[in-house]
Copies of this chain bind each other. A is one copy, B any other.
Amino acid sequence: MTEYTDEVSFLAHYNRREFDAPLLTVDPVLFTYHEAQLKVLLVERSAYPERGLWGLPGGFVDMASDQNLEATAQRKLREKTSVTPPYLEQLYSFGSNTRDKRGWSVTVAYTALMAYQECAAHIETVSDAKWQPLDHLNNLPLAFDHRQIIEFARERLRQKALYSIVPAYALPEKFTLPELQHLHEVLLGKALQKKSFRRRIEDAELLIDTGEKRSDGNGRPAVLYRMKEGSGGYTFVRNLAE
Protein backbone atom coordinates (compact mmCIF):
# COMPACT_ATOMS: atom_id res chain seq x y z
CA MET A 1 0.00 0.00 0.00
CA THR A 2 1.42 3.32 -1.09
CA GLU A 3 1.71 6.16 1.42
CA TYR A 4 0.94 9.71 0.40
CA THR A 5 2.21 12.91 1.95
CA ASP A 6 -0.73 15.11 1.09
CA GLU A 7 -4.37 14.76 0.12
CA VAL A 8 -3.99 16.18 -3.37
CA SER A 9 -1.56 13.48 -4.43
CA PHE A 10 -3.64 10.84 -2.63
CA LEU A 11 -6.69 11.87 -4.63
CA ALA A 12 -4.71 12.07 -7.87
CA HIS A 13 -3.77 8.42 -7.52
CA TYR A 14 -7.01 7.19 -5.98
CA ASN A 15 -8.65 4.37 -7.91
CA ARG A 16 -12.34 4.01 -7.08
CA ARG A 17 -12.45 0.60 -8.72
CA GLU A 18 -9.57 -0.94 -6.82
CA PHE A 19 -11.96 -2.73 -4.46
CA ASP A 20 -15.08 -4.61 -5.32
CA ALA A 21 -18.13 -3.03 -3.76
CA PRO A 22 -21.83 -3.76 -3.23
CA LEU A 23 -24.25 -2.93 -6.04
CA LEU A 24 -26.23 0.19 -5.22
CA THR A 25 -29.73 0.97 -6.45
CA VAL A 26 -32.50 3.41 -5.54
CA ASP A 27 -36.06 2.06 -5.38
CA PRO A 28 -39.08 4.35 -4.98
CA VAL A 29 -42.33 2.87 -3.64
CA LEU A 30 -44.96 5.09 -5.24
CA PHE A 31 -48.42 4.78 -3.68
CA THR A 32 -51.68 6.26 -4.77
CA TYR A 33 -55.34 5.97 -3.80
CA HIS A 34 -57.89 5.10 -6.44
CA GLU A 35 -61.28 3.40 -6.43
CA ALA A 36 -61.18 3.14 -2.63
CA GLN A 37 -57.93 1.17 -2.80
CA LEU A 38 -54.26 1.70 -2.17
CA LYS A 39 -52.19 1.02 -5.28
CA VAL A 40 -48.47 0.84 -5.91
CA LEU A 41 -46.62 1.49 -9.17
CA LEU A 42 -44.80 -1.60 -10.43
CA VAL A 43 -42.85 -2.44 -13.58
CA GLU A 44 -42.71 -5.79 -15.31
CA ARG A 45 -38.99 -6.48 -15.66
CA SER A 46 -37.94 -6.97 -19.26
CA ALA A 47 -34.31 -7.90 -18.60
CA TYR A 48 -32.37 -10.19 -16.30
CA PRO A 49 -32.10 -10.61 -13.42
CA GLU A 50 -35.63 -11.40 -12.24
CA ARG A 51 -36.93 -10.99 -15.79
CA GLY A 52 -40.69 -11.29 -16.08
CA LEU A 53 -41.28 -10.50 -12.41
CA TRP A 54 -42.77 -7.25 -11.12
CA GLY A 55 -40.45 -4.79 -9.46
CA LEU A 56 -40.23 -1.28 -8.07
CA PRO A 57 -39.52 1.46 -10.64
CA GLY A 58 -35.94 1.95 -9.45
CA GLY A 59 -32.45 1.62 -10.82
CA PHE A 60 -28.82 2.55 -10.54
CA VAL A 61 -27.52 6.00 -9.68
CA ASP A 62 -26.48 7.91 -12.78
CA MET A 63 -23.30 9.48 -11.47
CA ALA A 64 -23.15 11.91 -14.37
CA SER A 65 -26.61 13.42 -13.93
CA ASP A 66 -27.84 12.68 -10.40
CA GLN A 67 -26.65 15.13 -7.76
CA ASN A 68 -27.85 13.04 -4.83
CA LEU A 69 -29.95 10.01 -3.93
CA GLU A 70 -33.23 11.87 -3.99
CA ALA A 71 -32.46 13.02 -7.54
CA THR A 72 -32.09 9.40 -8.59
CA ALA A 73 -35.46 8.52 -7.06
CA GLN A 74 -37.07 11.50 -8.76
CA ARG A 75 -35.53 10.69 -12.13
CA LYS A 76 -36.68 7.06 -12.04
CA LEU A 77 -40.20 8.15 -11.16
CA ARG A 78 -40.25 10.76 -13.88
CA GLU A 79 -39.17 8.15 -16.40
CA LYS A 80 -42.23 6.05 -15.58
CA THR A 81 -44.85 8.69 -14.80
CA SER A 82 -43.57 11.80 -16.63
CA VAL A 83 -44.16 13.86 -13.50
CA THR A 84 -42.55 14.51 -10.13
CA PRO A 85 -44.67 13.32 -7.18
CA PRO A 86 -45.57 15.94 -4.55
CA TYR A 87 -44.32 13.70 -1.73
CA LEU A 88 -40.98 11.89 -1.73
CA GLU A 89 -39.24 10.76 1.45
CA GLN A 90 -36.43 8.35 2.10
CA LEU A 91 -37.75 5.16 3.67
CA TYR A 92 -34.92 2.77 4.55
CA SER A 93 -31.86 1.12 3.04
CA PHE A 94 -31.91 -2.61 2.52
CA GLY A 95 -28.53 -4.27 2.04
CA SER A 96 -27.32 -7.84 2.24
CA ASN A 97 -25.49 -10.55 0.35
CA THR A 98 -28.72 -12.45 -0.34
CA ARG A 99 -31.26 -9.96 -1.68
CA ASP A 100 -29.87 -9.93 -5.25
CA LYS A 101 -28.51 -12.96 -7.10
CA ARG A 102 -25.72 -10.81 -8.54
CA GLY A 103 -24.19 -10.58 -5.07
CA TRP A 104 -23.90 -8.11 -2.20
CA SER A 105 -26.31 -5.28 -2.96
CA VAL A 106 -27.90 -2.28 -1.31
CA THR A 107 -31.02 -0.40 -2.25
CA VAL A 108 -32.02 2.96 -0.84
CA ALA A 109 -35.81 2.86 -0.79
CA TYR A 110 -38.06 5.93 -0.96
CA THR A 111 -41.75 6.36 -0.29
CA ALA A 112 -43.57 8.53 -2.81
CA LEU A 113 -47.19 9.62 -3.01
CA MET A 114 -49.19 11.16 -5.82
CA ALA A 115 -52.68 11.47 -7.25
CA TYR A 116 -53.82 8.68 -9.55
CA GLN A 117 -55.18 11.06 -12.18
CA GLU A 118 -51.90 12.94 -12.28
CA CYS A 119 -50.21 10.25 -14.33
CA ALA A 120 -52.81 7.65 -15.25
CA ALA A 121 -52.84 8.77 -18.87
CA HIS A 122 -49.08 8.63 -19.31
CA ILE A 123 -48.81 5.24 -17.65
CA GLU A 124 -51.53 3.70 -19.75
CA THR A 125 -50.10 4.89 -23.05
CA VAL A 126 -46.34 5.20 -22.90
CA SER A 127 -45.07 3.32 -19.93
CA ASP A 128 -44.33 -0.30 -19.06
CA ALA A 129 -45.45 0.44 -15.51
CA LYS A 130 -48.79 -0.36 -13.93
CA TRP A 131 -50.75 0.55 -10.80
CA GLN A 132 -51.24 -2.64 -8.78
CA PRO A 133 -53.74 -2.80 -5.90
CA LEU A 134 -51.88 -3.53 -2.68
CA ASP A 135 -54.44 -6.10 -1.63
CA HIS A 136 -53.67 -8.25 -4.66
CA LEU A 137 -49.88 -8.29 -4.42
CA ASN A 138 -50.03 -11.83 -3.03
CA ASN A 139 -50.81 -13.11 -6.50
CA LEU A 140 -48.07 -11.15 -8.28
CA PRO A 141 -44.57 -12.60 -8.61
CA LEU A 142 -42.29 -9.86 -7.23
CA ALA A 143 -38.58 -9.37 -7.88
CA PHE A 144 -35.83 -9.40 -5.26
CA ASP A 145 -37.06 -8.39 -1.77
CA HIS A 146 -39.49 -5.87 -3.21
CA ARG A 147 -42.47 -7.44 -1.47
CA GLN A 148 -40.83 -6.77 1.89
CA ILE A 149 -39.88 -3.24 0.86
CA ILE A 150 -43.45 -2.46 -0.17
CA GLU A 151 -44.73 -3.93 3.09
CA PHE A 152 -42.21 -1.83 5.03
CA ALA A 153 -43.30 1.32 3.17
CA ARG A 154 -46.96 0.56 3.76
CA GLU A 155 -46.37 0.06 7.47
CA ARG A 156 -44.53 3.38 7.72
CA LEU A 157 -47.37 5.12 5.89
CA ARG A 158 -49.87 3.46 8.24
CA GLN A 159 -47.95 4.95 11.17
CA LYS A 160 -48.06 8.38 9.57
CA ALA A 161 -51.83 8.09 9.22
CA LEU A 162 -51.97 8.04 13.04
CA TYR A 163 -50.25 11.37 13.59
CA SER A 164 -50.22 13.32 10.30
CA ILE A 165 -52.13 13.94 7.10
CA VAL A 166 -49.23 12.90 4.87
CA PRO A 167 -51.49 10.37 3.11
CA ALA A 168 -53.30 13.36 1.57
CA TYR A 169 -50.49 13.54 -0.99
CA ALA A 170 -51.94 10.37 -2.52
CA LEU A 171 -55.08 12.38 -3.38
CA PRO A 172 -55.66 15.03 -6.07
CA GLU A 173 -54.82 18.61 -5.21
CA LYS A 174 -58.44 19.21 -4.24
CA PHE A 175 -60.10 16.59 -2.09
CA THR A 176 -62.88 16.18 0.44
CA LEU A 177 -62.58 15.28 4.11
CA PRO A 178 -64.63 12.08 3.70
CA GLU A 179 -62.17 11.03 0.97
CA LEU A 180 -59.15 11.69 3.17
CA GLN A 181 -60.77 9.92 6.10
CA HIS A 182 -61.51 6.87 4.00
CA LEU A 183 -57.91 6.76 2.81
CA HIS A 184 -56.75 6.82 6.42
CA GLU A 185 -59.24 4.07 7.24
CA VAL A 186 -57.86 1.90 4.45
CA LEU A 187 -54.33 2.46 5.73
CA LEU A 188 -55.28 1.73 9.34
CA GLY A 189 -57.61 -1.14 8.53
CA LYS A 190 -60.29 0.25 10.85
CA ALA A 191 -63.06 2.82 10.96
CA LEU A 192 -62.37 6.23 12.45
CA GLN A 193 -64.64 8.62 14.29
CA LYS A 194 -65.71 11.25 11.79
CA LYS A 195 -65.80 13.90 14.45
CA SER A 196 -62.33 13.19 15.85
CA PHE A 197 -60.80 13.03 12.41
CA ARG A 198 -62.26 16.34 11.26
CA ARG A 199 -61.77 18.18 14.54
CA ARG A 200 -58.02 17.68 14.79
CA ILE A 201 -57.49 18.70 11.17
CA GLU A 202 -59.65 21.79 11.60
CA ASP A 203 -58.03 22.77 14.92
CA ALA A 204 -54.55 22.50 13.40
CA GLU A 205 -55.65 24.55 10.37
CA LEU A 206 -54.00 22.18 7.91
CA LEU A 207 -56.41 22.60 5.00
CA ILE A 208 -57.78 25.44 2.94
CA ASP A 209 -61.45 25.55 2.03
CA THR A 210 -61.50 26.08 -1.75
CA GLY A 211 -65.10 27.28 -1.61
CA GLU A 212 -66.04 24.52 -4.05
CA LYS A 213 -68.10 21.48 -3.28
CA ARG A 214 -68.40 18.10 -4.91
CA SER A 215 -71.20 15.63 -4.93
CA ASP A 216 -70.93 12.08 -6.23
CA GLY A 217 -74.67 12.20 -6.96
CA ASN A 218 -75.71 10.79 -3.60
CA GLY A 219 -76.37 12.89 -0.57
CA ARG A 220 -75.02 16.24 0.56
CA PRO A 221 -72.00 17.50 -1.39
CA ALA A 222 -68.69 17.66 0.48
CA VAL A 223 -66.45 20.72 0.68
CA LEU A 224 -63.29 20.53 -1.42
CA TYR A 225 -60.08 21.38 0.43
CA ARG A 226 -56.47 21.65 -0.54
CA MET A 227 -53.44 21.30 1.71
CA LYS A 228 -51.93 24.37 3.28
CA GLU A 229 -48.21 24.91 2.75
CA GLY A 230 -46.24 22.84 5.24
CA SER A 231 -49.17 20.69 6.36
CA GLY A 232 -47.29 17.58 5.29
CA GLY A 233 -44.70 18.25 7.97
CA TYR A 234 -47.24 18.77 10.76
CA THR A 235 -47.51 16.10 13.44
CA PHE A 236 -50.33 15.89 15.96
CA VAL A 237 -49.12 15.60 19.54
CA ARG A 238 -51.53 12.78 20.18
CA ASN A 239 -51.97 9.71 17.99
CA LEU A 240 -55.25 8.24 16.87
CA ALA A 241 -56.01 4.91 18.57
CA GLU A 242 -54.52 1.92 16.75
Contact = CB atoms under 8 A, between A and B. Distances in A.
Interface of A: 4, 7, 10-11, 14, 16-17, 19-24, 48-51, 60-61, 63, 66-69, 90, 92-98, 101-104, 106, 108, 237-239, 241
Contact of A106 (B97, B98, B108): B108
Given A24-B24, A61-B104, 11 more contacts: A7-B51, A10-B49, A14-B102, A21-B63, A22-B63, A61-B106, A63-B104, A68-B96, A68-B97, A237-B241, A238-B238
19 contacts: A4-B48, A7-B51, A7-B101, A10-B48, A11-B102, A16-B103, A17-B17, A17-B20, A21-B61, A22-B24, A22-B63, A24-B24, A24-B106, A63-B97, A67-B98, A90-B92, A93-B93, A237-B238, A237-B239
A141 B34 CA distance: 51
A66 B94 CA distance: 13
Contacts of A48: 4, 7, 10-11
Contact of A21 (B60, B68, B96, B103): B60
A70 to B, nearest CB: 9
Nearest to A94: B69
Nearest to A107: B93
